Amino acid sequence: MMRASSLTARVFAHPETIRSVTLEDWDLLIRQSRRALLLAQLDALIHDHGLADTVPEPARKHLDSARALAEQNERIVHWETNRILRALRGVAGPVVLLKGAAYTMLGLPAARGRLFSDVDILVPKDRIDAAERSLMEHGWMSMHHDAYDQRYYRQWMHELPPMRHVRRRTVLDVHHNILPETASLHPDPARLLEAARPIDGTGLYAPEPADMVLHSATHLFHDGELEHGLRDLVDLDSLLRHFGREEQFWSRLVERAEQLDLMRPLYYALRYTHRFLDSVVPKDVRLCVRSAAPMTAAGALMDALFDRGLSPHHPSCDSRATGIARWALYVRSHMLRMPPHLLVPHLVRKSIRRRKGATAE
């Protein structure tokens, strides 16, 4: 049963309903989708379903503009991954693309109209220093110069501090795992790297399909901030619909979730893609992951939080409890990243710095 009520989520769940969207609602649909970074994906969805002639004239220009930006994004990803590969050839073993960059280079439906803020790659931990040096030689510089930030990333996180290319200004995240060292779940990155598959004709690698789904789920439900939660959920839905056409995929998904200690994120992914986007998950798979569900009371609370947190961060989707829900999810994501004895000093430091920043302005 679908609960989520943003217009954007409804249209992504059932694209043909766009036929009955009034001009007033188009206004809202565009605003919600833009805020959720889904405007160009909405355009792709409409085209893929042969619904382009249902778009009213005033709305069309916004979709056209969003599409132009998404096409540029796609070109940038092709070029950036080419440059990254060149910088890391012979240095870091196979370069495994993560998330959006992988979807784009694999030509998956999930990449159509998707916007990026950065490229994410995964390299073996014992090669990460060499990779960083080589990237620096090729023009990528660390974006955090503060000693505390550097230590925070290098000691506790699963990635280097983000790097930015000095000339192209593009941002690269170099990961050695998909969750922080300090997190409560412990997926083994060696297994992800082992199962990675070459992307035809590029020299690059992507995680195997089940791992891509699990990484997306882990990022959304155990790591990331939820500002673009609905977009991430649309990613998951698209991956599931695409890979789920093959029957073996589903058993492999459950098997990999067990091997990688990621059953809980998989449970959430299946629950909320269904709840928001009406994704279809085979019944036996749903029964399998149910063992990873939180207890009933906690589950009801998570529903209440995620129903709010995963909606577009747009005033039209906000209720009185939205602010509290987002705050609770923010705290939760940090608690999952770090144990309290590390987390509390970290958050105190962050909030002091934010206050200093605010008064300096």
Q: Which of 5, 17, 22, 319 binds other proteins (CB under 8 A)?
A: 22
Taking CB under 8 A as the rule, does residue 323 contact other proteins? Answer: no
Task: For residue 110, give the H/E element and its range.
Answer: none
140 - beta bridge partners?
165
Q: Which of 171, 178, 68 is nearest to 117 (CA)?
A: 171
What is the closest distance, in whole angstroms, from the C-beta atom of residue 325 to other proteins in the complex?
18
Question: By CB under 8 A, which span of 64-72, 104-112, 180-188, 321-329 interacts with other proteins?
Answer: 64-72
Q: Judged by CB under 8 A, which stretch of 26-34, 149-157, 158-166, 173-181 contacts other proteins?
A: 26-34
CA atoms of 69 and 40, how far apart (whole Å): 8
| Paired tokens of 101 | 């960059």
Residues near other proteins (CB under 8 A), total: 25
Question: Taking CB under 8 A as the rule, does residue 116 contact other proteins?
Answer: no
Choose, by CB under 8 A, the member of 16, 48, 71, 188 that binds other proteins: 71
Question: Token digits for 18?
Answer: 């766009």
Report phi then psi at 120, rounded to 5: -115, 135
Closest residue by Cα to residue 232 from 199, 280, 268, 282:
268
Asked if 169 touches other proteins (CB under 8 A), the answer is no
Which are the contacts of 212, defined by CB distance < 8 A and separation ≥ 6? 102, 103, 206, 239
**137 scored as a contact of other proteins (CB under 8 A):** no
- For residue 35, the minimal CB distance to other proteins (Å) is 7
Regarding 133 and contact with other proteins (CB under 8 A), the answer is no
Cα–Cα distance for residue pair 291/254, rounded to 1 Å:
12
Tell me if 64 contacts other proteins by CB under 8 A.
Answer: yes
Using rule CB under 8 A, residue 47 touches other proteins: no
Binding residue for other proteins, selected from 3, 49, 52, 58, defined by CB under 8 A: 58
In Å, what is the CA distance from 209 to each residue of 199, 256, 266? Answer: 12, 10, 14
Residues within the interface to other proteins (CB under 8 A): 22-24, 26-27, 31, 34-35, 56, 58-59, 61-62, 64-69, 71-72, 75, 314-315, 361
